[in-house]
Structure 1
Amino acid sequence: MSAIIFDVLPIFVMILIGWLIVKAGLMKAEIGDALSEFVFKIAVPLLLFRTIAEADFHGASPFRLWIAYFSGVAVTWFAAHVAATRFFGRDDRIGVLAGVSSAFANTIFIGLPLVQRTVGDKGLVPLSILIAVHLPVMMIVGTILMERAEHKIAGGQERSVVRLIRQVAQNLIRNPLVVGLAGGAVMHLLSLRMPGPVEMIVDQIAGVAGPVALISLGMALQKYGISGNVGIASVTSAFKLLLLPACVWTASHLVGLANDWTAALVLISSVPTGVNAWLIANRFGVGHSLAASTITVTTALGAISVSFWAYLLGA
């Protein structure tokens, strides 16, 4: 157990360091935003590019991985929606946001360094396969459900699903993560190798992705905090840290995923809520406090929950 704690604890200590840097006034939060841009647009795309280009898939199919993960997402999202609308009496928009907050894992800024540290580079292969579809699936579903909830409550014209998917697809084409994954896939399919000097540069930049992502996330935490909705935020946080990984673990065993892939998926699902929940709340102007509180609570308790799941997995 102590070995697991020493693997997991540094992840959250680096987040704490980022938070303290801003809290102590050593750097402004805007610097954290710039670091996040570097991570998202340069470091992580190069890491994904290298991982896919050099991966040995052993003929594994991604479909079982996607089924295992997103079936867990569906169960958790539905449970959070029901809890928000039936138990807490909130409207459908808050129900959708509760689902997003409970099921949207921070795969890039926490999941990636966590899996790399606990499972190793072999865990980055299933993570890369998940990242390839995670953002578009979650954003498309979240936006469609939120727009329908808005239409139900406020009326007005509702965008067609085809138009919405087209808009998301256009954004994804320019997404650096998608570009990195696609470039790595081309290298892999053509069995190409990077020249030595290029590979060294890519390795060095990719190597800082995890630490810089964690520190930049900590620097951004000051914009969230806990502001009301403590009861419902406690439920969404519990669903995120406990229910989602439990569902993913069960589904992974049902579809027969390999142990390494199961460990990677469960650990990814056990990390705190991603900032995309806040972005969706901002986009529709509702549920800011719920999204912010869930992000803060899950990040504060993340070290405990991730250590618990790592212990169960024997990671």
Structure 2
Amino acid sequence: MQGVLSGFVVIAVVIAVGYGIGRAGHLGEQGREVLTKLAFHVASPALLFTTLAGADLSVVFSDRLLVTALSTAAVAGVFVAVGAVRRWGVGRTTIGALCSSYVNSGNLGIPIAVYVLGDASLVAPVLLFQLVGVTPVALTVLDLAGGGRKRPLWQRLLTPLRNPIAVGSLAGVTVSAAGVTVPGPLLDPLTLIGNMSVPAVLLAFGISLRGSALPLRGAERAPVLLAVALKSFAQPVAAWALAAGVFGLRGAALLDVVVTSALPAAQNLFTYASSYRVGEVLAREAILLSTVLSVPVLVAVAALLG
């Protein structure tokens, strides 16, 4: 369990530093917004490009990816259905659906894959699916759900190409699929810039906690509870049922997919919510609570299936 605990300690420390920065006011009133924009428009696209440009795309056709895709769709679909019935709005429901299904496969998933599962590449199917499949679709929905005048159909179809995170993801996949090796003088600066992404996201999240009310005490209580229940409990159960019952996975393969599905909601979801100014409280509280709950859940999964 050292990998689980060490991953959470790293995240907690950086968030705590962000909280301290926010309380001290070192970055001013606009500090969180600047970090969020830096992560969304610059650092995250660079990180996604460098990650995917060297990825093995053969994992896209694995059973693990199918389990991930189906379990993600199942829990996200439940949140969307409830959101539609409760009239939570397209943008807010989209953020909630992401918080219900989008796992922290990067800064937490990688160390857990290394220390618990013994192979960092095991998180690659989830990472690729979320970056290439889920993220562009969700951000396109958020773009189209925004206010303002209606645009022509051709402009709406090109919405993903105006989103920096989607562009970074798709560019990385294109380079990998083409078998192109990015020259060092170009790749190294992008890697350096991309390394700012996770710290910027975690620091911005920590700053956002300054002056925030305790979770589950505001108007977002119902969507937060639903998102956390789906993320922390329903998604790993769905992944286990699909992996064992439908695809016949056993042993280490079964443990891999259930552990990755039990990871908490990713911190970059708060960046998306902040960038589109929708569901920020929902994202912040769902990420916080699912991160706390994922510790006992991951320990239980490892104990039962390990």
Q: Does 1:50 align with 2:38?
A: no
Q: Does 1:247 align with 2:238?
A: yes
Q: Describe the superposition over 1:121-176 as per-residue Cα deviations: whole angstroms up to 9, x where unpaired.
A: 522453133211213433566899x89xxxxxxxxxxx99x94xx55532211222
Hey, what does 1:119 align to over in structure 2?
113
Hey, what does 1:287 align to over in structure 2?
none
Q: Describe the superposition over 1:72-114 as per-residue Cα deviations: whole angstroms up to 9, x where unpaired.
A: 34433454467678xxxxx641386785454313999954212
Separation in structure 1 between the aligned mates of residue 93 and residue 242 of structure 2, nearest angstrom: 19
Hey, what does 2:38 align to over in structure 1?
38
Q: Describe the superposition over 1:233-288 as per-residue Cα deviations: whole angstroms up to 9, x where unpaired.
A: 43443233322343244334534685696267415565479345677784xxxxxx
Separation in structure 2 between the aligned mates of residue 204 and residue 280 of structure 1, nearest angstrom: 26
SS of equivalent to 2:27:
coil
1:210, CA displacement in angstroms?
Answer: 1.8
Query: Could you tell me which amino acid in structure 2 is paired with residue 61 of structure 1?
Result: V
Hey, what does 1:134 align to over in structure 2?
134
TM-score (norm 2): 0.71
Contact 1:17–1:218 (CA under 8 A) maintained in structure 2: yes
Separation in structure 2 between the aligned mates of residue 79 and residue 72 of structure 1, nearest angstrom: 11
Query: Could you tell me which amino acid in structure 2 is paired with residue 203 of structure 1?
Result: T
Q: Which moved more, 1:226-235 or 1:295-304?
A: 226-235
TM-score (norm 1): 0.70
Separation in structure 2 between the aligned mates of residue 141 and residue 10 of structure 1, nearest angstrom: 32
Indicate how the Cα distance of structure 1 residues 95 and 73 shifts in structure 2: closer, same or farther if over 3 A, else same.
Answer: farther
Kindly, what percent of the aligned residue pairs are identical?
19
Q: Does 1:60 align with 2:55?
A: no
Query: Could you tell me which amino acid in structure 2 is paired with residue 266 of structure 1?
Result: S
Hey, what does 2:71 align to over in structure 1?
72
1:310, CA displacement in angstroms?
Answer: 3.3
Gaps (5+ residues) in structure 1?
86-90, 148-158, 283-290
1:223, CA displacement in angstroms?
Answer: 8.5
Indicate how the Cα distance of structure 1 residues 14 and 97 shifts in structure 2: closer, same or farther if over 3 A, else same.
Answer: same
Contact 1:252–1:262 (CA under 8 A) maintained in structure 2: yes
Hey, what does 1:19 align to over in structure 2?
19
Separation in structure 1 between the aligned mates of residue 21 and residue 220 of structure 2, nearest angstrom: 28
Indicate how the Cα distance of structure 1 residues 238 and 61 shifts in structure 2: closer, same or farther if over 3 A, else same.
Answer: closer
SS of equivalent to 1:112:
coil
1:21, CA displacement in angstroms?
Answer: 1.5
Contact 1:36–1:213 (CA under 8 A) maintained in structure 2: yes
**What is the alpha-carbon root mean square deviation over aligned residues?**
4.1
Hey, what does 1:302 align to over in structure 2?
290
Hey, what does 1:311 align to over in structure 2?
299
Indicate how the Cα distance of structure 1 residues 71 and 7 shifts in structure 2: closer, same or farther if over 3 A, else same.
Answer: same
Separation in structure 1 between the aligned mates of residue 44 and residue 259 of structure 2, nearest angstrom: 17
Query: Could you tell me which amino acid in structure 1 is paired with residue 233 of structure 2?
Result: L
Indicate how the Cα distance of structure 1 residues 186 and 73 shifts in structure 2: closer, same or farther if over 3 A, else same.
Answer: closer
Hey, what does 1:172 align to over in structure 2?
160
Q: Describe the superposition over 1:50-81 as per-residue Cα deviations: whole angstroms up to 9, x where unpaired.
A: 22222224x33358566534433443345446
Separation in structure 1 between the aligned mates of residue 62 and residue 155 of structure 2, nearest angstrom: 25
